[in-house]
Amino acid sequence: MGLRHIDVSYEPEKTSGAAKSLKKRIDIPVRYHKRKDGSVFPLEITASPFEIKGREKIIAVARDITERKMAEEALKVRNIELAKLNDELEKFTYANQELNQFAYTASHQLQEPIRTISNYIHVIEEDYASLLNKDVLNHFGTIEEAVKRMALLINSLFEYSQLGRNKKLAYVDCNQLIKSVIKDLDYMIESSGATIEVGEMPELYLYETEIHQLFQNLISNAIKFRSKDNKPKVQISSEKLNEKWMFSVSDNGIGIDPFHFNRIFNIFQRLHSSEEEYEGKGIGLAYCKKIVQLHFGEIWLDSVVGKGSTFKFTIPLIPR
Ligand code: ADP
């Protein structure tokens, strides 16, 4: 109190002349003043000239904008971080596209030579069988099986690389979507005696065909990897988190050792060979992961061996 504004200003040279020549109201976005303890803080000033009894006066309002400035600084830092993230995302998207293109070309190009091998094996078996002894024919049988498997794997790789190529974003009622998945799995559900419980599902923007496939893979795995001791019970639920929905598919099946939690999402990764009781190509969860990533979400699981597994995935709310 009792101080002139020049006494509290941190930049008196900016203040002195301006005050004298003031003819109309001015808004000064940022000036710096000193506190009593000498520390400096930013403020915003509005000053207007007026007259009292023929004498020119100035009235000024100064507002401490420390908090606003801090928020602006934080926003600047955040923007820099976002720009960096965006760069990373672009690089990642590019690398992903290249990888996809590679998988597409490789799997496409390999189909033809495999067909040729397969054809010639047939020709040899049919036209030269009388010239070959039993051992050689047996070996040809083994080669034929391996070629079939190779064709299957390459075809899966091709389909995997195609996944999401024609994706279409749609506003989807997930209650209906899951109903139709359950209908598609009708035979599997009936024959295994599985029960499926479905909680309330949201409506949101999704790539519908792909999410249909995702639920189909998770639900069919939940039934396929059932334990011998009880009938499969699958629970499907959803939960709204901040900016995303989280879905979960739980089962009471054989469970998975935490050691394998990450690797089962890799393409062609299986914990059981096809010769054992669980059929499969080891591609279902790789599909799931790719589909969730198309939505910029995440997928993971919790599981206890012998008790069951819960697969969870998130779908962010805002369509991109
Ligand atoms: P596939 O079902 O063709 O073997 P997936 O990619 O769908 O391939 O699954 C990979 C592996 O993860 C499976 O071989 C299985 O060992 C394990 N797995 C997946 N889902 C479950 C589940 N619900 N319960 C137990 N194990 C599972």
Residues 168-220 have pLDDT tens digits of: 999 999 999 999 999 999 999 999 999 999 999 999 999 999 999 999 999 99
Could you tell me what percent of the chain has a pLDDT over 70?
A: 96
Tell how far the Cα of 277 is from the centroid of ligand 1, in angstroms: 12
Tell how far the Cα of 109 is from the centroid of ligand 1, in angstroms: 29
Where do the structural domains in the chain lie, given as residue ranges?
A: 5-64, 70-162, 169-316
Closest residue by Cα to atom 7, ligand 1, is 284
Q: Is 250 in the pocket of ligand 1 (CB under 6 A)?
A: no
pLDDT tens digits along 208-253: 999 999 999 999 999 999 999 899 999 999 999 989 999 999 999 9
Closest residue by Cα to atom 20, ligand 1, is 221
pLDDT for 4 equals 82
Q: Is 281 in the pocket of ligand 1 (CB under 6 A)?
A: yes
Best mutation site among 163, 236, 256, 288 for ligand 1, i.e. most ligand atoms within 8 A of its Cβ? 256
Could you tell me what percent of the chain has a pLDDT over 90?
A: 58
Q: Specify the CATH architecture of the domain 169-316.
A: 2-Layer Sandwich (3.30)
Tell how far the Cα of 170 is from the centroid of ligand 1, in angstroms: 29
pLDDT tens digits along 52-68: 898 888 888 989 999 99
Mean pLDDT score across all residues of the chain: 90
pLDDT for 275 equals 58
Q: Is 247 in the pocket of ligand 1 (CB under 6 A)?
A: no
Nearest to 279 by CA among 133, 152, 92: 152
In terms of CATH, what superfamily is 5-64?
Answer: PAS domain (3.30.450.20)
45-49, 119-123, 178-182, 275-279: range with lowest mean pLDDT:
275-279
Closest residue by Cα to atom 21, ligand 1, is 221
pLDDT for 66 equals 94
pLDDT bin (cut points 50, 70, 90) of residue 255 is very high
pLDDT for 20 equals 66
Asked if the model's pLDDT at residue 18 lies above 90, the reply is no
Average pLDDT for 37-46: 92
Average pLDDT for 275-303: 89
pLDDT for 239 equals 97
Q: Is 253 in the pocket of ligand 1 (CB under 6 A)?
A: yes
Tell how far the Cα of 256 is from the centroid of ligand 1, in angstroms: 9
pLDDT bin (cut points 50, 70, 90) of residue 19 is low
Asked if the model's pLDDT at residue 307 lies above 90, the reply is yes
Tell how far the Cα of 283 is from the centroid of ligand 1, in angstroms: 9
